[in-house]
Structure 1
Amino acid sequence: MATAMAATAAERAVLEASLRFTLSCSGTGTEAPAKQENFILGSCSTDQVKGVLTLQGDALSQADVNLKMPRNNQLLHFAFREDKQWKLQQIQDARNHVSQAIYLLANRDESYQFRTGAEVLKLMDAVMLQLTRARNRLTTPATLTLPEIAASGLTRMFAPALPSDLLVNVYINLNKLCLTVYQLHALQPNSTKNFRPAGGAVLHSPGAMFEWGSQRLEVSHVHKVECVIPWLNDALVFFTVSLQLCQQLKDKISVFSSYWSYRPF
C-alpha cells in the first residue's frame, strides 16, 4: 500500500510537470492547440538588439527583431515569414521524455499491486532516467559550430532574408528563451591572422572564425538577448520534485528490503 501511494504521488508530480509545458501529452485525450505567448527580449548590457518572439507550445510562431548596427547605427528589421514556424527541439524532446515517464507510471491497471520491492525500484529507475533527460534538454543547450548555425533552417525563416553577414541562433537555457545574433566580416585572403576554426559552443565570442563556402569569416560582434518563460521555470521545479519523490521511494524500499532480508542468528 505504501509503495502504491508513493508511486501515485510521483505520478501526480510528473503529470504536473507535463502540464507546465502547456502541451497535451500523448494519451491524455486533450489535443487543444497551445496558446500563443509573446515575450519581449532584452539585455541589461546592450540595446543593440530588441525583439518580440511568439511562443506556441514547442514552436516559435512569430519573431520580430530589430538590430542596430554598431558601426553606422543603421537599423535592421527582420521577422518570420508568415508561413513559417520554428520548432524548439529542446522543448519538444523534454515533452517527449515527460510523456514517456507518465506512460511508465500509468501503464498499469488501477488494481495492480507491486509484487516486489525490486519491481518498484526498476520502475523508479526508468522514470527517473526520463525525467533527468527531460531536465537536461532544458538545462544543457546544444553546442553548435558556426557552420552548423549558418546551415540551420532558422536562417531561412526571415523576411526580408538575413544579410549574409548575420547569423541567428535561438535556444533554451534553463527557464530562458535566448536569441543570439552574430555579426560577421570576411577575412581577406592576404590576412595575416592565423586562421583557426572555432569548435562547437553554446555562445561564440568575437574573434571566432569559420569557413563557409569559399569564404573565411570571423565574428565581429555578438548580441544576446533573452527572456524568462514562467512555465519552463515551473516545469524545472516539478522535475526536481518528481525526482526527489522517486528517490525517496527508492530509499524507503531499500530500507524495508534490508529489514526483511535481515536474519538474526
Structure 2
Amino acid sequence: MPTTIVLFEQKSLVKMDDTEERRTLDAELAWLLREQVPKDLTDIHQTLMECSRRFPFRMGFDDRTVVKPQRNLLSNPNNTGQIKCVVTLMGDTLCDADISFRHKAGKENHMFKTKISPDIQWPLPQVQEAANHLAKALSIYHKLSGDQTFTSAKQVILMLDETMKLLNMGRTSLAFPKRKSIDDLVQYSSMQNFHPSVPSDVAVSFYVHSAKLILAVYHLHIVNSCREISSRHQVECTVQWLNEAVVLFTLALQQCQQLFDKLKVLESVHTHGEKVS
C-alpha cells in the first residue's frame, strides 16, 4: 500500500509540472501574438515599402520613388575594347543607348556602331517581374488594420509563408536571369530597335544580374543549318537602386524567417501539448 501511494504522488507531480509548463507556453504564445507579432509585421511592412521605392512603378501604396533616369557607362576590365556602351536606364526600360562592338566582315575587323533612339525603349522584364511579386507581398500587409489582432500562430505563419514565397520569386527575378536560346536572342523583338540594324551574325542582349545591368554581344556562325555561338563578350555597370532593392528583398526575407521560426517552434510545442493532454 505505501508503495502505491508514492507512485500516485509522483504521477500527480508530473501532471502538475506538465500543466504548469503548458500554461507558461500558452502565456508566451499569447504575448508573442499580442505584443511581438504586430511590431515585427510593422517592421516587415516598412522594409517592403522601402523596397518598393527602389522601383519606378506606382504600386498603389506609396507614390514616392528614389529612381531617376540614369546615364550609365558599361565596362569590363577583360573586355579589351571589344564592346563600348553607354545607356540611359529608366526603371525597367533602356530608353537610349549608344553601342559599338568589334565585328569581322570578311577578312576585315572593324567597329560596328549602332544605337537605340530615345523614342524607342528596350524593356527589362526582370525588373517588372520583381516589382509585381513585391506588389503582391505588399498587398498582404496593406490589408492589415492598425489594431489587427491574431488569435493563432498558424494564422500568422500562413501569411509569412506566402510573403516569403513572393519575396523569393522577386529576388530570384533579379538575381538569376532566365537563359535564352540562340533563336530567342536573334528573334527577340527588341533586336529591331537598333539603328542601323546589327549584322545577321550578331545577337545582343541586355539583362539584369542582381545589382548589375549587363550587355552581352554574341557572335554567331552557322553549322549544319544551326546557329552556334563562336564568341561572347559583355560589359556591365552597377545600378545603385537595384543593389538597394536586392538588399531590401533579403532583409525582408530575414525578418519574415525570424518571426516564422519563433512561431513555428511555439506552435509545434503547443500542438504537441494538446495531443499529449
Under a length normalisation based on structure 2, what TM-score does the superposition of the two structures give? 0.79
Cα contact 2:220–2:231 (8 A) shared by 1: yes
Q: Which runs of no fewer than 5 residues in structure 1 stay unpaired?
A: 188-194, 196-210
Aligned pair partner of 1:53 in 87, 95, 99? 87
Q: Do residues 136 (structure 1) and 172 (structure 2) align?
A: yes
Cα contact 1:14–1:242 (8 A) shared by 2: yes
Q: Do residues 231 (structure 1) and 241 (structure 2) align?
A: yes
Cα contact 1:101–1:127 (8 A) shared by 2: yes
Structure 1 residues 29 and 174: alpha-carbon distance in aligned structure 2, compared to 1, 3 A threshold:
closer
Cα contact 2:220–2:227 (8 A) shared by 1: yes
Cα contact 1:154–1:169 (8 A) shared by 2: no
Aligned pair partner of 1:146 in 168, 182, 190? 182
Cα contact 1:80–1:157 (8 A) shared by 2: yes
Cα contact 2:88–2:94 (8 A) shared by 1: yes
Under a length normalisation based on structure 1, what TM-score does the superposition of the two structures give? 0.83
Tell me which amino acid in the other structure corresponds to 1:132. N
Q: Do residues 41 (structure 1) and 69 (structure 2) align?
A: no
Tell me which amino acid in the other structure corresponds to 2:78. S
Structure-1 separation of matches of 2:239 and 2:65: 20
Cα contact 1:20–1:234 (8 A) shared by 2: yes
Aligned pair partner of 1:3 in 27, 34, 37? 37
Q: Do residues 164 (structure 1) and 164 (structure 2) align?
A: no
Aligned pair partner of 1:119 in 155, 170, 188? 155
Per-residue CA deviations over 1:215-252 (Å, capped at 9, x if unaligned) read x4333332111111111111111111111110111112
Aligned to 2:8: none
The number of residue pairs the alignment matches comes to 238
Q: Do residues 241 (structure 1) and 277 (structure 2) align?
A: no
Per-residue CA deviations over 1:162-216 (Å, capped at 9, x if unaligned) read 12121111111121111111122344xxxxxxx4xxxxxxxxxxxxxxx5xxxx4
Q: Which runs of no fewer than 5 residues in structure 2 stay unpaired?
A: 1-34
Cα contact 1:41–1:227 (8 A) shared by 2: yes
RMSD: 2.1
Structure 1 residues 38 and 30: alpha-carbon distance in aligned structure 2, compared to 1, 3 A threshold:
same
Structure-1 separation of matches of 2:214 and 2:108: 25
Distance apart, 1:153 and its partner CA: 1.0
> Secondary structure of 2:237's match?
strand
Q: Do residues 107 (structure 1) and 143 (structure 2) align?
A: yes
Structure-1 separation of matches of 2:57 and 2:46: 15
Distance apart, 1:3 and its partner CA: 0.7
Structure 1 residues 28 and 77: alpha-carbon distance in aligned structure 2, compared to 1, 3 A threshold:
same
Distance apart, 1:132 and its partner CA: 0.2
Aligned to 2:134: 98
Structure richer in helix, relative to its length:
2
Tell me which amino acid in the other structure corresponds to 2:124. L
Aligned to 1:205: none
Structure 1 residues 83 and 25: alpha-carbon distance in aligned structure 2, compared to 1, 3 A threshold:
closer
Structure-1 separation of matches of 2:238 and 2:201: 28
Distance apart, 1:108 and its partner CA: 2.2
> Secondary structure of 1:74's match?
strand
Query: Structure 1 vs Structure 2: percent identity of aligned residues?
Result: 31
Aligned pair partner of 2:211 in 143, 152, 175? 175
